[in-house]
Amino acid sequence: MQNVRSALITGASSGIGSALAEALARPGATLHLSGRDAVRLDAVVVACRARGATVHPAIIDVRDAEAMAAWIAGAGRLDLVVANAGVSAGTIAGTPEAPETARAIFAINLDGVVNTVLPALAAMTRQPAGSDGVRGRIGAIASIAALAVTPWGPAYGASKAAVDAWIVGSGVEMRKRGVTLTSVCPGYIRTAMTAGHQFPMPGLMDADRAARIILRGIAAGRSRVVFPWWIGLATRAAGLLPTWALAAAGRLLHRDGDHP
């Protein structure tokens, strides 16, 4: 995205977030990067500055609505905002999801996206439009898990489904105001989040490749970016199955008790 001169990314200290930051880093670019791990975030800042970018790091919890609003409002003009911060947790076969796990996942994956997107929309709708008529672009990282209800990791899938539905549903009206919204639904990405999985991960790809796909989709103004496409298609089809069939398939794939 060569036309992006100023971008803001949450969860930029690792995984997809750091890959996006480094993909956007170049001379003349200004990056506002947040995370909760100062050491890992500093490593990303060093890498982006080495590529010539001006970087402003911030240690912020996306669950803090006031802090997020203040950070985004103070960033100045933003061409791109990516609500990337998220967590994952699965369930062990035969064990219900712990209440504290469900609350933590919703607070970060859903509330964190809302706390990022709403102030970004407020800021971008006040910005002058570029030559293409766009005032700003916003991407929210959902998941292929948003495309089908599964009995393993229910809070994770539900939080991502809510993000996807909200972003896609809001995009029509916001486009009229000059802001494009893109829901990003990736499959398995080689990150710290997937490093401990002991089950098959079809379509697993590197974060750098995922970042390129994401940025191309956002630049094209797509309402939803799903990749790999064949995993997305299979997930859609799986979503038509009865829950008992999905549970049976999950038991076959995740015999060690570890789930996405």
Q: Is the dihedral of CA 197, 44, 71, 136 positive or negative?
A: negative
Q: 2 in helix, strand or coil?
A: coil
DSSP secondary structure string for all residues of 185-220: EE--EESTTTTT--S--TT-EEHHHHHHHHHHHHHT
Nearest to 180 by CA among 224, 119, 149: 224
C-alpha to C-alpha distance for 30 and 79, rounded to whole angstroms? 10
Q: Could you give the maximum distance between any two Cα atoms of the chain, in Å?
A: 56
Annotated catalytic residues are 156
C-alpha to C-alpha distance for 115 and 218, rounded to whole angstroms? 20
Find all residues with CB under 8 Å of 21, minimum gap 6, and list them.
7, 9, 12, 31, 33, 44, 47, 48
3-state secondary structure 73-93: HCCCCCCEEEECCCCCCCCCC
Q: Which amino acid is at 145?
A: A
Residue the block writes with tokens 């950070």: 71
C-alpha to C-alpha distance for 5 and 170, rounded to whole angstroms? 25
